[in-house]
Amino acid sequence: MRSIKKYTVKNPSEIKLHLQDWAQQFDEVIWLDSNNYAQKYTNYDAVLAVDAFTSIKTDYYDAFNKLEEYQKQTEDWIFGYLSYDLKNDVENLASENDDHLDFPDLYFFQPKRLFFLKGKTIEMHYLKMIDDEIEDDFTTIKKMLSIKKDNTNSCGKVKISLRLTKDTYKEKVNKMLTHIHRGDIYEANFCQEFFAENSCIDPLQTYHHLNNISRPPFATYLKMDHLFLLSASPERYLKKEGIKIITQPIKGTAKRASDAVYDKKLVDELKNDPKERSENIMIVDLVRNDLSKTAVKGSVTVEELCKVYSFDQVHQMISTVISQVDINRSPIDVLKTTFPMGSMTGAPKISAMKIIENLEESKRGLYSGTVGYFTPEGDFDFNVVIRSILYNDKKQYISYTVGGAITAKSDPDKEYEECLLKAKAMREVLEEM
């Protein structure tokens, strides 16, 4: 179905910028960047998919079955996202909070043009119908000039508003703690939205700024007509390599420090913090249970428990859980039986999602959903949409949401401070544009 050509590039960092600039001519764009982060399960340094040949766009109703049919029909690379609200397709749940962004619940497309960057090699995978354009496109991309953009924002300064005041946030956390203390749940991820109305941004420049200060392993730039996701996600949701399934939930966050000795102290404190470890272990138990639904009996294994990884903005506690999938289960089965991801819901999952829906003020939508791709063979790799800016250009609405795990040991004031820490990069980027 595709013609493949490989080229050697002298400066991969420069080619990345050229590819992103060149991609803006298309209505459908997904850019995935590992930022050269040393990650055991990373296949590519960066991937670009543009220019839809076919696509699927739907609400949550019967969404996973529709995606499975589409994935089987194409038997090709497809790129897209699952929004958090596909929970309503998996369980008897509803999403009734206000939606100001209007992203479809599910969207995937089959790109005509596909690029994989690894080291100094770039592979271009083009559908046969346009394979005569490979050489010309590569020549154009190489010759593109990196034009320095004017720093002035023609839209004016972005004014961030809070969906919840600090006092209201704390009241809602206390309600969550009441549920925990009476045994309804053990843990739940509670989120709050920050937003700007009647505001505009340059999406690509905003993504560059966010990525440059965060440099995470699962960065994403998504464009779907007038809808944009600019993500600095550090978290993998789920990956399939043959019969192997990998999930890497994050629970546990600490700030960075410029002083190396103090920064090391913060790492040690996070490693040994009983609250942070208990949060992480609860979610590990949840994802082990989720993976067991499609796994060969006895194959679910915790490969790494509560390991602290350092990113530019924060330290994070990450665990890695793996399994072998039963050969009779489809790739979509694996996604459906683990979605939404445990790190963004809680335990028990269904009870947590009901309480989350009741206490949060905004529809999550793509936030705490996932972006990624399927290969022609049915393998896949998906991130978790956190540390992200969402933008509806038509409505001139900008949004970012942050949250944290609430457990019996949670202190509402400290939880609020953790939210502000996670929001710091997005706020800085938007206020400086």
Spell out the residues 6+ positions from residue 12 whose beta carbon is closer than 8 angstroms to its own.
Answer: 45, 117, 119, 120
Is 20 within 8 Å of 204 (Cβ atoms)? yes
> How crowded is residue 46: how many other Cβ atoms within 10 Å of its Cβ?
21
Is 253 within 8 Å of 233 (Cβ atoms)? no
Backbone angles phi, psi at 224, to 5 degrees: -135, 90
* Euclidean distance between CA atoms 414 and 316, whole angstroms: 16
Is 149 within 8 Å of 27 (Cβ atoms)? no
Is 195 within 8 Å of 409 (Cβ atoms)? no
Spell out the residues 6+ positions from residue 206 whose beta carbon is closer than 8 angstroms to its own.
Answer: 230, 389, 391, 429, 430, 433
Cis peptide before 104 (omega within 30 of 0): no
What is the C-alpha end-to-end distance of the chain, expressed in Å? 42
Strands 250-255, 314-324: pairing is antiparallel
The residue from 28, 235, 279, 357 that is catalytic is: 235
The residue from 239, 251, 336, 422 that is catalytic is: 251
Residue 262 corresponds to which amino acid? Answer: Y
Residue from 242, 221, 335 nearest 41 by CA: 242
Residue from 303, 297, 383 nearest 335 by CA: 383
Instruction: Let me know if 235 is a catalytic residue.
Output: yes
Backbone angles phi, psi at 219, to 5 degrees: -65, 145
Is 370 within 8 Å of 341 (Cβ atoms)? yes
Cis peptide before 12 (omega within 30 of 0): no
**Residues tagged active-site:** 235, 251
